[in-house]
């Protein structure tokens, strides 16, 4: 009997300790949502499971990787000083638009015209993501932008898969590739090939295809036949829309049957599009820092105004992503930290976001179940 009481007391103490810990975590997270103080807040936020569904390879190379890839490719960079290189690769403070932002991709594209450099670039990025504590990432790039030295898109994709596999063999995280088609003139055949390569390597390193590039210049509506073709092949896709063009661009993407939209931020105050997103169960891949830098929404100039809760309150599924870690000088953890620091989200909303990321990942149901379990373990720490 004495032992039983002792055991009960012990359990009661444990319960109290657990309760106390839960309250402490909530308080710290709440503090993170309303004030700026403390390493403890950052430590607790880092307990959030990190999943990046919208991450561009060329915008996320480190200056160190760029140097190594330039050496492999025999490309002369204007400097080998890492800080000076970083300045070329980061979005300028006076960035005016998405088109300005895209200029930061010039050097990465120059050094990614050689198989070994592409392989190294993917390898290095996955290793860095693993070090940052990501559980899962979908890394995207456009194979057709890497053909200047005579590579075929197929060779480019093979090189990227080699880099991915080499890194995953040394990492705990999981990652897949998304192959981007490009908005532009006279590249219909190249885009078709990208879709066909997505089909060829689907489930073997490649998860889906995408449409990237200058949205305002090359309208989404032009790409209906491309996504009809992808659908006919059973290729999953996501589409950049509602970043640099109006919500009609998103409505076109939705009419193509996409389940995910890259960005989609412009719909935050558009009742019709919000309803459509909810009805069709579409997930938005939001990228807060990038959206502010490209001035995706003219009236939103600071993180405190970032309208993520406008979506969550309408039960529209949103995820938080980096877009371009180097160009935007960010990491996924930093994105969450900023959202907390500026009081944009609280811990409950962060959990919703993580669940949405798991749900929207280009993974099988079993893989999603495993990923969710990993997320839950981290979030319960
Ligand atoms: Zn993007």
Distance 379 CA to ligand 1 centre (A): 27
Q: What are phi and psi of 160, to 5 degrees?
A: -65, -35
Q: Give the span between the Cα atoms of 213 and 80, in whole angstroms.
A: 29
Architecture of domain 48-379 in this structure: Alpha-Beta Barrel (3.20)
Confirm whether 243 is a catalytic residue. Answer: yes
Which listed residue (90, 243, 285, 335) is catalytic?
Answer: 243
- Between the CA of 367 and the centroid of ligand 1 the distance, in Å, is 24
pLDDT by residue, tens only, the chain of 381 residues: 333 333 333 333 333 333 333 333 333 333 333 333 333 344 455 577 999 999 999 999 999 999 999 999 999 999 989 999 998 899 877 777 666 777 788 889 999 999 999 999 999 999 999 999 999 999 999 999 999 999 999 999 999 999 999 999 999 999 999 999 999 999 999 999 999 999 999 999 999 999 999 898 999 999 999 999 999 999 999 999 999 899 999 999 999 999 999 999 999 999 999 999 999 999 999 999 999 988 888 888 899 999 999 999 999 999 999 999 999 999 999 999 999 999 999 989 999 999 999 999 999 999 999 999 999 998 877
Under 8 Å between Cβ of 279 and 80? no
Report the alpha-carbon distance of residue 111 to residue 186 in Å, rounded: 24
Q: What are phi and psi of 139, to 5 degrees?
A: -100, 130
**Distance from the alpha carbon of residue 1 to the mean position of ligand 1, in angstroms:** 64
**HSE-up (13 A, CA, CB side) for residue 174:** 20
Task: Please provide the DSSP assignment of 31-84 as one string.
Answer: HHHH----HHHHHHHTTS-EEEEEEESTTS--HHHHHHHHHHHT---S---HHH
Please give the distance, rounded to the nearest whole angstrom, from the Cα atom of residue 180 to the centre of ligand 1. Answer: 10
Distance 241 CA to ligand 1 centre (A): 9
How far, in Å, from the CA of 32 to the mean position of ligand 1? 28
Interatomic CA distance for residues 360 and 280, integer angstroms: 13
Q: Give the C-alpha separation, 317 to 355, whole Å.
A: 9
Place of tokens 């996504």: 227
């Amino acid at each position: 009997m004495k032992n039983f009481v002792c055991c009960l007391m012990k359990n009661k103490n444990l319960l109290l300790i657990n309760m106390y810990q839960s309250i402490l975590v909530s308080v710290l997270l709440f503090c993170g949502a309303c004030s700026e103080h403390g390493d403890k807040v950052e430590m607790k936020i880092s307990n959030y499971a990190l999943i990046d569904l919208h991450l561009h390879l060329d915008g996320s190379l480190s200056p160190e990787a760029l140097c190594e890839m330039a050496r492999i490719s025999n490309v002369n960079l204007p400097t080998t000083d890492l800080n000076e290189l970083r300045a070329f690769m980061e979005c300028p403070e006076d960035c005016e638009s998405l088109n300005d932002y895209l200029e930061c991709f010039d050097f990465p594209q120059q050094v990614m015209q050689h198989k070994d450099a592409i392989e190294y670039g993917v390898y290095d990025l996955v290793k860095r993501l693993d070090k940052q504590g990501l559980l899962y990432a979908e890394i995207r790039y456009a194979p057709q932008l890497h053909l200047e030295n005579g590579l075929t898109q197929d060779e480019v994709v093979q090189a990227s898969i080699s880099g991915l596999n080499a890194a995953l063999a040394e990492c705990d995280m999981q990652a897949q590739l998304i192959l981007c088609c490009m908005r532009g003139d006279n590249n219909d055949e190249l885009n078709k090939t990208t879709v066909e390569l997505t089909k060829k390597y689907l489930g073997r390193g490649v998860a889906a295809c995408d449409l990237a590039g200058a949205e305002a210049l090359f309208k989404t509506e032009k790409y209906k036949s491309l996504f009809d073709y992808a659908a006919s092949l059973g290729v999953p896709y996501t589409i950049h829309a509602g970043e640099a063009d109006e919500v009609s661009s998103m409505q076109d993407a939705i009419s193509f049957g996409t389940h995910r939209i890259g960005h989609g931020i412009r719909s935050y105050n558009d009742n019709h599009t919000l309803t459509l997103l909810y009805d069709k169960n579409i997930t938005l891949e939001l990228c807060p820092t990038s959206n502010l830098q490209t001035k995706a929404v003219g009236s939103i100039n600071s993180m405190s105004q970032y309208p993520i809760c406008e979506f969550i309150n309408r039960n529209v599924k949103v995820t938080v992503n980096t877009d371009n870690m180097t160009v935007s000088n960010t990491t996924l953890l930093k994105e969450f930290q900023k959202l907390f620091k500026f009081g944009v989200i609280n811990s409950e909303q962060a959990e919703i976001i993580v669940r949405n990321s798991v749900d929207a990942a280009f993974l099988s149901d079993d893989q999603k179940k495993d990923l969710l379990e990993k997320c839950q373990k981290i979030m319960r720490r």
